Chains A and B, each alone.
Chain A
């Protein structure tokens, strides 16, 4: 049976140089971008705007949803820590041997948590990536 190259996110991990982020329920990397500079002028062909790509790339932000556990002491440490390598590793595809990964230097910029009366205690964290990321294909 041929393995498919698409998959669900179950099995995804997030590791920091200093540790492992447990009980993750959602991972979203966003904001990887670069500017588009308008290069339109009065004689642009057929009146269509033109753009040139900016040289600076934004490595984006990692947003993580978690199930909150009882270990609060590390939260204060995390929000005060300097940048470290953060690696998001997606699951190994059926029939494959390793998952793909996205790694970059990053630091936590926000953290919030809640304890609803009739629901799981959850937390959200945002990590700002800084500098050039490394993308590694799964195999």
Chain B
């Protein structure tokens, strides 16, 4: 299971789902479905190595944005995300999370290119997730 899948599974079953339902999107957001919503992108997921192979732990950096029709709603989703993930150690949607930190939330906005009347407010943060992963057998070592 990838960290992206695990994060989706976790958020979909957390208190965040009470606000966004299933509108949790890895990468692109479907703006037709409605808001509030969460979009996220895994920017890196680097395995820790030692001299004989992978150590079974990796560090993922995830940019996550909470979107809403207003800054108030986006902020409520952001707070729910922080409550769910900040300092988490344990099961993250089927993957063991060694530690999850939630960075500062910054304001972002989205304007529909087809009309300047439609805009969305967002709160964006970066998650740092240390997590366990399966260890492949090194070849030729």
Interface assignment of A103: CB less than 8 Å from any CB of chain B: no
CA distance A27 to B51 in the complex (A): 9
Whether A23 contacts B101 by the Cβ 8 Å rule is: no
- For residue A29, give the distance in angstroms from its CB to the closest CB of chain B: 14
- For residue B86, give the distance in angstroms from its CB to the closest CB of chain A: 13
Whether A67 contacts B52 by the Cβ 8 Å rule is: no
Whether A67 contacts B101 by the Cβ 8 Å rule is: no
Nearest B residue to A90 by beta-carbon distance?
A: B51
Which of B50, B99, B141 has most chain A Cβ within 10 Å?
B50
Q: Which A residues touch B50, using CB under 8 A?
A: 22-25, 66-67
Interface assignment of B57: CB less than 8 Å from any CB of chain A: yes
- In B12-50, the 8 Å CB interface with A consists of 48-50
Q: Which of A10, A92, A117, A120 is within 8 Å of B51, CB to CB?
A: A10
Binding site secondary structure of chain B: strand
Known: A10-B141, A91-B141. A118 touches B101 (CB 8 A): yes
Binding site secondary structure of chain A: loop
Chain A residues within 8 Å of chain B by Cβ, number: 18
CA distance A18 to B140 in the complex (A): 25
CA distance A91 to B141 in the complex (A): 7
Chain B residues within 8 Å of chain A by Cβ, number: 14
Whether A118 contacts B128 by the Cβ 8 Å rule is: yes
Interface assignment of A13: CB less than 8 Å from any CB of chain B: yes
Whether B99 contacts A24 by the Cβ 8 Å rule is: no
Q: A9-B51, A23-B55 are in contact. List 17 more A-B contacts (CB 8 A).
A: A10-B49, A11-B51, A11-B140, A12-B51, A13-B51, A22-B50, A23-B50, A24-B50, A24-B51, A24-B52, A25-B49, A26-B51, A67-B55, A92-B140, A117-B99, A118-B99, A120-B57
User: Can you name 27 A-B pairs with beta carbons within 8 Å?
Assistant: A10-B49, A10-B141, A11-B51, A11-B52, A11-B140, A11-B141, A22-B50, A22-B52, A23-B50, A23-B51, A23-B52, A23-B55, A24-B51, A24-B52, A25-B50, A25-B51, A66-B50, A67-B48, A67-B50, A67-B55, A91-B141, A92-B140, A118-B99, A118-B101, A118-B130, A120-B48, A120-B57
